[in-house]
Amino acid sequence: MSSADDRRNVRAGHTHGGGTVKGFVHKDRSPPPSLNDSLEGEIQAFLTDEDQLHTYDDLTKVNPVTPTTVLKCLQARYSVKVFYTHAGCTLVALNPFQPIPHLYSLDVMKEYHCAPQPQEFKPHIFIVAEEAYRNVQGQLEPVNQSLVVSGESGAGKTWTSRCLMKYYATVAASSSVVKSQHTVERIEKRVLDSNPIMEAFGNACTLRNNNSSRFGKYIQLQLDRCQLLVGASVQTYLLEKTRVGCQPANERNFHIFYQMMKGATDEQRKEWEMPRGQRFVWLPNAEKTVDEDCFHETVEAMVHLGINAERQRQIFTILAGILQLGNVNFSSSTDESQPCNLEEQSKDFLQRAAELLRVPAEELQMCLRVRTLKAGKQSVLKPCSQAECSMRRDCLAKVIYAQLFEWLVTFINNSMCADKSTWCNFIGVLDVYGFECFQTNNLEQLCINYANEKLQQHFVAHYLRAQQEEYVSEGLQWSFVKYQDNQSCLDLIEGSPVSVFSLLNEESRLNRASDSKMFRVRLEKELCDNVNISWDKFSKVPHFTVAHYAGKVNYQIQGMVDKNKDPVPPELSSLLQKSGNSLLHQIFTDKETENLTSKGLSKVTVVSKFKNSLESLMKILHATTPHYTRCIKPNPDCKPLTFKKEEVIMQLEACGIVETIHISAAGFPIRIPFSSFLQRYGLITTYSKLKSETRVDLEADSDVLQREVEKLLRVLLQTHAVDPSHCLGKPNSWVHCGRTKVFLTQSMLDLLEDQRNKILSQCAFSIQRCWLRYQRRRRHARLKSAIVIQAAVRSWLVRREVQRWNRAATVIQDTWRRWRALLKSLAEAELDDAKDLVEEEVPELNPVIRERGSVQLSNIQEPVTVRGWPMGLALASAPSITVSLTATGFQKMMSVMASLNLPSRRGDYKVETNQYTKGLASIRAQPKGSVKLHYQRSPLLYADRQPDQKSDVTGFNEILLEKTL
């Protein structure tokens, strides 16, 4: 059966807030004698059929809501391997202490992300993530979101935060925009790769958790206007750097040291001077193996973030130097005026540490054993005691590791943080250390528990108190649900003018040796009126007890003031600034620059610095929409699928789960101002049968807006066949109209959104129809216009072409007519004149010559040039004539000479051929006394023939050239 079916089946068996459950056995009982007896009876009736308890996916359906019923439901769900349960506005997550890959697969992410209503699915951390993501997308208002993951150490906060980051990295990367796909994938990879590095350098194996966060972090996932992941930034809080040099019993140092020991190659071990089998004082329980001991994964994440091989080598060399420093021990000197002696085996470790840190060994030894005191302008060297030498050694290791961790965080932020102009909203994931109570608790545990107190107070102020006060101010009939308010505990720790922190800072700023007994006396004197603090007067160890929201914790005073001072001897900083390791030199040079810029300010203690950073975090949380996830630790031993009732009930009472369920079951989790409500859902009235005749002014009086809201709700409820008087009249129903806001349950909000989406779909369908109709009409009109234009253009082109043809034909005709006329005139001029033939007496010619043609020359004595063509010409005898003939070939030439019948008198005639120079010419007669050329067949008969196009002769002569002998 699907999760949605499960949810519907469960809802079918309940009434909202009622106690009727289908299939449950109810016994008829007489009226209870007392309220306690009645409640006990209801609890027994509810728990009659425990086989059905695991079906309650939301604890607001439990009736009655008591710690016992809530605990039983959680136990039943945990036994069937269901680890997430809704508790009103909060998600309860039980740690299974074993990997469950299918629960967080990519298919599950897509299923929740693509679901129209993710709330219909089984409870999951992805529902919280998707709700926050859709809020950013603007379901109501695009407000920045914060996911607050809280719980005890070992409850599963780090794993939950890791799942949230992977979900957003996957969802925000599912874009079809090819241009931004590469950027999204790069940011997604870097966001995910920041986790292994942060956990390797900031997490450690403790008694309560194998992967306990020893620092707090708030990760901002930056989104652009398209809700795509464009960057991220990490803000860290209070790294537990004392763990570097001092590990509690049966606990380990930070993961990175063990990763180096177990994952380094032989070449790296040689470079780090870390041979196999060597033991380090600061690496206890090295034989224990946890899942986080994966050196290759950390190195791969460094590469993806852009930390090159040289920088990695410098980082691991520094870490190896810190480990070597931990093996350095001192022995007391017999002469107090002389520095402490190094133990014999410690000399090699000191030399190795100096080589790895790239500092002179002599100066390192001097800084650890001798203290520099300034008296005016003079410096005085004072030998340190054995305890002071060990403290300076630890201080050196702590400050190096803390600054290296801070550099890593800055590098990660620079590699994945986007420019402010490229993102507009963010989703924050808060993962802080859980509430801690060890056998020995000091300043670190006080700060950690103080941070948890602030988060609990934020939850109380935001939900438990603020919501109920708002119900009353808006006129809802509401009876207050009692809850545990931890404001008095916060006043004890951080209050003004006197608190634990203020007294601790005063003691730290005094230039004197700290005295734990004196500080305890002062605490008793100044804070005796606060009920949250107490003392055990018979204890030999000075301490004080604080009653936190999660229980009482004893804090040891010894060493608390010194840790708050967090002194770093100036000679140690100067030594590290001279380091040959470029990274170490850069870190402490930058730190020295920061110290110089802040010169003149009062010294910042650990407590004041942590308090200021936590206050900035709380401002961010108050400015965002929070989503709470409560991680519960089922058993103290971290055993898989083991449920300890005592452990769970204590956590449920401490974090106020039962009170949260009470308020969520009876209250309204969604609150929207009238103007915003009408602005978003006013279209329901506009497009209903009861259309509003007047348009509502959103800036009108609240009474007018309230009437419009009630009218809108009536229209909606009538549309869905729900009695409006029932829903609008009772305060514990679906919706209630207050004085300025509308209070809704999730069911009512879903109903509103569903109706709004239907109307928008109808409007979109109408717009699409009108647009398609307009597009089709426009396309048809354009088609008709195109046809008309094309027809007009074609007709104009045809007319222009016909006109051009007509003009060309006219020109050709005119030219041809002129040419024919010219030819005719030439032909007439060249033909024999009958009159001349009659008047002149022509001598009888030779028959052969007559057959071929005849030429009669006048008696003019002037030389006349006669040009003819090679067709067999005959010339009459003339006294002095220059004849220019054209003949091609020897035979033709001889034929011409024979046909001319020229006299043999030398010099009387001159024959000149011109076939190469002057071309072929016809006989041209002068006006008088012209030479007449007669030929059997006139060449003019061939004037209409087409000449050979390959000939070089042109004009009329070209036509005559066709007729040859």
All domains of the chain in start order, with CATH: 40-96+634-667 (no CATH), 444-567 (1.20.58.530), 670-722+730-786 (1.20.5)
Task: Give dist(CA 117, CA 4) in Å, integer.
Answer: 10
Q: Which residues pair with 544 in a beta bridge?
A: 555
Q: Which residue has the higher pLDDT, 132 or 842?
A: 132
- Do residues 871 and 938 make contact, with C-beta atoms less than 8 angstroms apart? no
Sign of CA dihedral 941, 944, 948, 951: positive
Q: Has 151 been labeled as part of a binding site?
A: yes
pLDDT tens sequence across 266-325: 999 999 998 888 899 999 988 888 888 899 999 999 998 999 999 999 999 999 999 999
Residue 547, marked binder: no
Whether the Cβ atoms of residue 305 and residue 193 lie closer than 8 Å to each other: yes
CA 345 to chain centre: 54
pLDDT at 357: 93
Question: Residue 866 in contact with residue 877, Cβ under 8 Å?
Answer: no
Distance of CA 332 to the CA centre of its chain: 59
Q: Nearest Cα to 925, choosing from 879, 864, 839?
A: 864
Give the pLDDT score at 784.
95
Decide: 492 and 532 in contact? Cβ < 8 Å.
Answer: yes
| Residue 153 among known ligand-binding residues | yes
Q: Who has greater pLDDT, 954 or 19? A: 954
Query: Distance of CA 858 to CAs 12, 124, 831, 921, Å?
Result: 141, 133, 16, 20
Highest mean pLDDT range out of 130-144, 187-201, 302-316, 750-764?
Answer: 302-316
pLDDT of residue 307: 93
Residue 778, pLDDT score: 94
Confidence of residue 921 (pLDDT cuts 50, 70, 90): very low
Average pLDDT over the chain, rounded to an integer: 77
Condensed to tens digits (0 to 9), the pLDDT of residues 752-772 reads 888 888 888 988 999 999 999
* 554-571 tens-digit pLDDT: 999 988 988 888 888 888
Q: What is the DSSP letter of 925?
A: -
Residue for token pair 């034909």: 809
152 is in an annotated binding site: yes
Q: What angle do CA 552, 558, 563 make, to 5 degrees?
A: 95
Alpha-carbon distance of 879 to 856, in angstroms, equals 12
Q: For residue 870, name the pLDDT band (cuts at 50, 70, 90).
A: very low
User: Count of CB atoms within 10 A of residue 952's CB?
Assistant: 7
Contact of 134 with 168, CB cutoff 8 Å: no
Q: Which two three-digit tokens encode residue 493?
A: 């720790």
Q: What are phi and psi of 919, to 5 degrees?
A: 75, -170
Locate tokens 């966001």: which residue? 191
Res 893: pLDDT: 59
Whether residue 154 is annotated as binding a ligand: the answer is yes
Cα angle vertex 180, ends 177, 184, to 5°?
115
Q: What is the Rg, in whole angstroms, of the alpha carbon atoms belonging to the chain?
A: 54
Instruction: Judge whether 315 and 277 are in contact, CB under 8 Å.
Output: no
Give the CA angle between residues 749, 754, 124 to the nearest 5°: 60
Q: Residue type for 54, please?
A: H
In one-letter notation, the amino acid at residue 278 is Q
Residue that the structure tokens 């940011």 belong to: 187
What is the rounded CA–CA span in Å between residue 237 and residue 454? 14
Confidence band for 463, pLDDT divided at 50, 70 and 90 = confident
Query: Given pLDDT bands bounded at 50, 70 and 90, which one contains residue 742?
Result: confident
Q: Is residue 870 a contact partner of residue 892, using CB atoms and an 8 Å limit?
A: yes
**Range name among 199-213, 621-635, 724-738 with the lowest pLDDT average:** 724-738
The DSSP bridge partners found for residue 86 are 58, 91
Q: Is 954 annotated as a binding residue?
A: no
Nearest alpha-carbon partner for 162 in 133, 137, 184, 194 = 194
**Residue 223: pLDDT band with limits 50, 70, 90:** confident
The residue among 142, 123, 122 whose CA lies nearest residue 134 is 142
Whether the CA torsion 201, 207, 211, 212 is positive or negative: it is: negative
Q: What does the pLDDT read at residue 43? A: 64
Looking at residue 436, what is its pLDDT?
Answer: 83
Active site residues: 153-154, 158, 209, 212-213, 434, 436
Residue 872 backbone zone (phi > 0: left; psi -120 to 50: alpha; other: beta): left
Residue-level pLDDT at 715:
78
Q: What's the confidence (pLDDT) of residue 690?
A: 53
Which has the closest alpha carbon to 92: 644, 465, 635, 651? 651
Helix (H, G, I), strand (E, B) or coil at 341: strand
What digits encode the pLDDT tens for the residues 33-87?
A: 444 455 566 666 656 666 678 788 888 878 777 888 888 899 999 999 999 999 8
Q: Is pTM, for the whole model, over 0.75?
A: no
**When comparing pLDDT for 347 and 725, which is higher?**
347
Give the pLDDT of residue 654.
75
What are 765's two structure tokens?
């369908």
Q: Is it the case that residue 220 has pLDDT exceeding 50?
A: yes
Confidence of residue 13 (pLDDT cuts 50, 70, 90): very low
